[in-house]
Structure 1
Amino acid sequence: MPDGKIRPQWNRTIAEAVQFMGTEADKKNLYTLIPALRRRTAGLFNVYKGLPKPLYTLFLATVVNSVGIFVFPFLTLYLTGRLGMTQGNAGSFMFLISMVYIPGNFIGGKLADRLGRKKLMVVTQIISAALYIPCGFALFSDYVPWLILASVFFDGLTDPARSAMMMDLTTPENRRTAFSLTYLGHNLGFAVGSLIAGFLFEHASSWLFWGNALAVFAATWIVGMKVPETKPTQQQIDATIGTGSTEEAHTGTLAQALLSRPFLIIFTLLTTWYGFVYAQHRFALPLQAKAVFGATGAAIFGSCMTLNAALVIFLSTPVMALTKRWKPINSVALSGVFFALGFGMIGLAGNIWLLYLSTFIWTLGEIVNATNEGAYVANHTPISHRGRFQAVLPFLGSIGWTISPPVIGKLIDAKSLDAVWPLIGAVAGVSAGLLWLLGKVEDKTLARQSTPMDIRKK
């Protein structure tokens, strides 16, 4: 069951605040209320205490790096507005970016397991950031897209090492807390960075590239100076063999290691349908807002995205605390229920408040999924293959996200927007149910494997 200490704590805080605002409180009331609110807030963030120190360093590096994500939020506008690409060519370029990222990711996974996490991260991030610098000096050059593609390739090399480092520094007991902290750091940084990027795009476009590069340099320096190499030693890897742990090292090939973990493969294939559903918050949702609200649809869609960002920042910690004692796979199944309800009701949202309610519900699904999916994957990844698994599994998991816009676009052309949301809700609901069943089957399988053979025969 979830941690029951959180809800009463916040109930008392809210009650005190309401009492204060509804009375003619004197200064004494104010001086007692503020410390009470401070204690409640500090108590909530206590869930992040006790993590290994390098994880707090990675949190800081994540915030710094995310603040500097300037280029990609405005890349389509840059390609069409500054370089004069057509929308079709810009779309093709965005697809090409995905294609360049994939081989970088696969190569990076292999190198992370062979050379180490930190060394690979530092070298590839420096190269990736350095490639942005000449872009700022040649904003209207045809060479800029090629430099961006090269930067994306080296960023792809980095990501498996970054994810493997998180696994190395955590245990099954603290992974959800650590992943939640990193998720919070990314969203805090990105929220600030998006505001800065909007200003830079209009008034100082060169600094989109230079600022992004500086942020990556700074984050890389933090990791390089403060985080040790985390790649497990051969002795640590050998020590897991024969333990029966879900993280036990595998001595075979990558394919053999993957096939030896059928629950992880099925889990990944089921959660890719969550990506299929979630992708519609950027594709069909703005179309729905325009269809329902007309000329104000774009602004209303933007306000939904603002609400989503605010909820992610303010609810990540309490949601993680409330689900901390649940098994990761059960929490991931719950996130699918939120997706089913939140996205499934969008077709019924005839006014802005219902649309905000749906955004609130599916954002809860996003938060629960983000803080638990990675933990399940990490807990089932062999210590010997962490880098390579973090190249292959995210690729498999991204298939749903990738195919979602074209599939739903065809559905809208053939039917209408009204056909989208019941389908999306059903996909999320069925996936959630299958994940819950998968968790039950896995529990029974593990219990049977841990039972001595002579007892099983009786």
Structure 2
Amino acid sequence: MLKTAFQRYINNFKGFSREIWILATVTFINRAGTMVLPFLTKYLKEDLHFSYGEVGWIMVCFGFGSMLGSWLGGKLSDKIGFYKIMVFSLFTSGILFFMLQFITSFWGLCISIFSIMSIADMFRPAMFVSLGVYAKPENRTRALTLVRLAVNLGFAAGPALGGLIIMGIGYKGLFWTDSATCIIAILIFALLVKEKKNVISNNHKNDDSAIVLSVFKDKIFWLFLFICFLTAVLFFQIFTTLPLYHHEMFGLTEFQSGLLLTLNGLLIFFLEMPIVSTFEKLKIRKTKIMLWGSFLMAISFYLLMITGWSGIFIFSIIFITFGEMFIFPFSNSFALSRAPKGHEGRYMALFTMSFSLAHITSSKTGMEVISYFGYQTNWFLMGTLGIIATLSCIRLLYLLRMEDRLN
């Protein structure tokens, strides 16, 4: 029985091209070394002694830099190709992350983090376009999921190791590690993967694809982006307010907070690919799966309103992890499948920008709400945003059915 279950799990990973496996490997190396982000708010608050408001503004700069980088990455991917953007972005950001450890002033960090993210997040839309090029149309969603698994496996190893590095040699060790893994990852990619022109074509049989004249006139896509924005606001609380809540209210160490993130990564590693494969076989609409995910995310934050027992963090992280598995792989695939040929970069730029805007909103709003009203109010607000996302998914499903009838 166990052998059969293991074989079924392995079968979910068959059928990918060599380039997809290399992309997944490179992503794992990069994300395993990305230790600055999960501990950035703690570094700013506890090591550099900034106020909640100052931490919030630095994270706003992080988000605006991410938005600019996402837009530039998407536009330039359509203009000069995704390959050049990926190599430039990771190599340059690796050097800049190393230099970041020497900047400790408020305005210096605002400018530096904005600049770094403007370059680092050029990588994301370019990487999404590359998946569309190197993956076969019939397994594109699974290819996106494979790379997400690499991301989450990296995050499973990274935060726990990052916590140990902080306890051993301090926060500066994180900057060295982040810098080195960025450069190592992109060197592997450049050496093993040859540049390929963008030949994505839309599959009109896809139940969620549609060709439109301009992304700015695609009202369905903008409602979809709104849902992505709301759910990403919830997700980013994991890296901004939750680590502070763990320490201030329950006295958890960086290592213990890292273990909770490790649980998130391991659940995704073992369960996301089978879940995606099952939903694809059942031919369930991507947007209907996103609806379920939004509701699970809402529940995860309402659970945090239960005080007096640190064990509630485990149940909360399980709910938000299943919400993440139901939302993010299918939202990636929806965005890529809806893009007309030659406009993939623009669509993926706006898609990644919705996450960057969410990072701005999530960190600043969360910090301000906590500062004035406390953690419980913030958890109630986040749970309510999850309900709004759920209702928006219902509306999106209705509009897609209307579009199907017209076509």
Q: TM-score, normalised by structure 2?
A: 0.82
Give the CA deviation at 1:90: 4.8
1:174 is paired with a residue of what secondary structure? Answer: helix
Q: Which runs of 5+ in 1 are unaligned?
A: 1-11, 14-35, 251-255, 450-458
Given the alignment of the two structures, is residue 227 of structure 1 paired with residue 183 of structure 2, yes or no? no
Match of 1:267 among 208, 224, 237: 224
- Contact persistence 1:232–1:383 (CA under 8 A): no
Segment drifting more, 344-353 vs 185-194:
344-353
Distance (Å, rounded) in 1 between the aligned partners of 2:264 and 2:33: 20
CA shift for structure 1 position 76: 4.6
Q: Does 1:308 align with 2:264?
A: yes
Task: Give, as a single letter, the amino acid of the residue that structure 2 aligns with 1:203.
Answer: I
Residues 95-143 of structure 1: CA deviation (Å, up to 9, x unaligned): 323333332332222111110111221123222223345567x588999
The answer for the alignment partner of 2:73 in structure 1 is 108
CA–CA separation in structure 1 for the residues paired with 2:203 and 2:14: 31
Q: CA deviation at 1:397?
A: 4.5
* Correspondence 1:211-360 to 2 at 5 A: 211-232=177-198, 257-281=214-238, 295=251, 304-324=260-280, 325=282, 326-348=284-306, 351-360=309-318
In the TM superposition, residue 164 of structure 1 has moved relative to its aligned partner by 1.4
Per-residue deviation, 1:332: 0.6
CA RMSD of aligned residues (A): 3.8
- The CA deviation string for residues 351-389 of structure 1, in whole angstroms up to 9 with x for no partner, is 444543333222211121122111111111122111122
* Counterparts in 2 of 1:345 and 1:45: CA distance versus 1, 3 Å: same
Structure having the higher Rg: 1
Q: 1:170 aligns with which of 135, 146, 165?
A: 135
Output one character per residue of 1:299-349: Cα deviation in whole Å (capped at 9) or x when no partner.
986664443333233322333233333221111111012123332233246
**Which whole-Å CA distance do the structure 1 matches of 2:204 and 2:272 have between them?**
37
Code of the aligned partner of 1:226? L
> Which protein, 1 or 2, shows the higher relative CO under an 8 Å CA cutoff with sep ≥ 6?
2
> What residue in structure 2 maps to residue 65 of structure 1?
30
The question of whether the paired residues in 2 share the 8 Å contact of 1:269 and 1:397 is answered with no
Report matched runs for 1:307-456 at 5 Å.
307-324=263-280, 325=282, 326-348=284-306, 351-407=309-365, 418-449=376-407
In 1, the alpha carbon distance for the partners of 2:368 and 2:171 equals: 36
Superposed CA deviations along residues 190-249 of structure 1, whole A, max 9, x for unmatched, are: 22233333344442765533432321222112221232334325xx77xx7999997677
Aligned to 1:99: 64
Residue 290 of structure 1 and its aligned partner are, at CA, apart by: 7.4
Contact map agreement 2:57 2:364 (CA 8 A) in 1: no
SS of the equivalent of 2:138 reads coil
Distance of 1:53 and 1:187 partners within structure 2: 20
Q: CA deviation at 1:269?
A: 1.2
Tell me how far apart the structure 1 counterparts of residues 369 and 147 of structure 2 sit (CA, whole Å).
36
1:199-214 residue pairs with structure 2 within 5 A? 199-201=164-166, 202-203=168-169, 207-214=173-180
Structure 2 counterpart of 1:330, one-letter code: K
Count residues in correspondence: 402
AA matched with 2:86: M
CA contact (8 A) 1:247 1:383 kept: no
Alpha carbons 1:160, 1:390 under 8 Å: kept: yes
Aligned-pair identity in percent equals 22
Q: 1:370-417, CA deviations, whole angstroms, 9 ceiling, x for partnerless residues?
A: 221111111111221111222223223444453345545665677665
Between the aligned partners of 1:388 and 1:227, the Cα distance in structure 2 is: 24
| Amino acid corresponding to residue 132 of structure 2 in structure 1 | M
In structure 2, the gaps of 5 or more residues are: none
Q: Are the counterparts in 1 of residues 73 and 122 from structure 2 also a CA contact under 8 Å?
A: yes
Alpha-carbon distance change, 334 to 173 in structure 1, aligned in 2, over 3 angstroms: farther
* Kept in 1: contact 2:33–2:158 (CA 8 A): yes
Structure 1 equivalent of residue 146 of structure 2:
181
After alignment, is 167-176 or 104-113 more displaced? 167-176
